[in-house]
Amino acid sequence: MSNALALRGFGVVLLLLLFALAGVGSAALDTKLEQPPVDRRPPRITGTAQVGGILESTRGTWQRARGAVFSYQWRVCDAVGATCADVTGATDGIYPVRPTDVGRTVRVTVTVETEGGRASAVSAATPVVREARAGAPVVTAAPGIEGKAELGAVLSVDRGTWRGDEPTGFAYRWRRCAADGGACRAIPGETGATYVPSTPDVGHTLRVLVQARNAVGGGAALSDPTGEIGGPRKAGAPRSTSPPVISGVPSEERL
């Protein structure tokens, strides 16, 4: 009887030990998941560093980046890649090179955010930006998007103002972005001068990439983002047409 009791007691102890080890392993896994991402390979810029060219950023390689949200910030630097400054609104994964970038270099900062925290990595600098080819299209006033940022509304491209040899043809690529206008992706098949926001666009913003081309070469420019796309007002929903009015004679009341 004593041997049976001893074996039973040993089994209980072993079971408790296994539960404890499982708890330690789970805690270790949770701790690991709560740690911020780690950069293993920095982002890289592809494309031509010339006015009118389009630069594109890779995300880089990250550890502990499952479920991560990526964001981008393009920076213009001096000729040796130092003394950099953020380009306002340049938060897409692509960057059309501007006339003001000539003689300078470009970098991109990629930021990764997970439940465990956030981390950033910076690319190497591009070669020094060159002038556009003589006569190639160059944007002088940025393109824009006209229309109401609402589900089912018609948005149209204002292609901006361009200089260069004529005739010049234009092509468009609509992009769906995060609510802050960054981290955009091209919308498959949407290459027209107009676009009607659909359900996947709600809660996002939109940008349009305008590409100009003539016999000499091409140029590109990116619009600012729209406001966040909202859903339509339901038909027949009540709507205020004038502010409320208070009437009556004021009286003193004890509480």
Res 4: pLDDT: 54
Q: Report how far residue 108's alpha carbon sits from residue 112's, in angstroms, rounded to the nearest whole number.
A: 13
Q: What pLDDT, on the 0 to 100 scale, is given for residue 156?
A: 98
pLDDT of residue 86: 98
Q: What is the pLDDT of residue 18?
A: 55
Please count the structural domains in the chain. Answer: 2
170 and 114 assigned to the same domain: no
Q: Which two tokens stand for residue 145?
A: 């998007």
Q: If DSSP codes are grouped into helix, strand and coil, which group holds residue 144?
A: strand
pLDDT at 96 over 50: yes
CB atoms within 10 A of CB 223: 22
Kindly state whether residues 95 and 163 are assigned to the same domain.
Answer: no
For residue 216, give the amino acid letter: V
Q: Which two tokens stand for residue 47?
A: 């494309």
Place of tokens 């009341």: 253
On the question of pLDDT at 31 being above 60, the answer is: no
Domain annotation covers residue 229: no
If you average pLDDT over residues 175-191, what whole number do you get?
96
Q: Are the C-beta atoms of 45 and 105 separated by less than 8 Å?
A: no
The Cα-based distances of 95 to 5, 22, 54, 183 in angstroms read 75, 49, 6, 12
Tell me how far apart the alpha carbons of residues 213 and 172 are, in angstroms, rounded to a whole number. 12
| pLDDT (0 to 100) of residue 235 | 39
Let me know whether 148 and 198 are in one domain.
Answer: yes
Question: Which pTM was predicted?
Answer: 0.77
Q: Are 212 and 145 in the same domain?
A: yes
Q: Is the pLDDT of residue 48 over 80?
A: yes
Last residue of a domain, which of 98, 122, 146? 122
Please tell me the predicted confidence (pLDDT) of residue 248: 45
Contact residues for 155 (Cβ-Cβ < 8 A; gap 6+): 145, 146, 147, 148, 149, 194, 195, 196, 197, 206, 226
Using the Cα atoms of residue 164, residue 170, residue 171 and residue 173 in order, give the sign of their dihedral.
positive
Query: For the domain that residue 142 is a member of, what is the CATH number?
Result: 2.60.40.2700
Residue span of the structural domain in which 56 resides: 38-122
Same domain, 110 and 165: no
> How many residues are listed for the chain in this entry?
255
Average pLDDT of the chain is 85
- Higher confidence at residue 19 or residue 124? 124
Whether the CB-CB separation of 172 and 157 falls below 8 Å is answered with: yes
22-36, 200-214, 218-232: range with highest mean pLDDT: 200-214
Q: What φ, ψ does residue 33 adopt, rounded to 5°? A: -70, -25
Residues 117 and 154 in one domain: no
Predicted confidence at residue 253, as pLDDT, reads 35
Structure confidence at residue 119 (pLDDT): 95
Cα–chain-centroid distance for residue 120?
Answer: 14
Residue 253 falls inside a structural domain: no
> What is d(CA 172, CA 61) in angstroms, rounded to the nearest whole number?
31
Q: What angle do CA 108, 177, 148 make, to 5 degrees?
A: 135
CA distance 49 to 40: 26
pLDDT, residue 29, reads 46
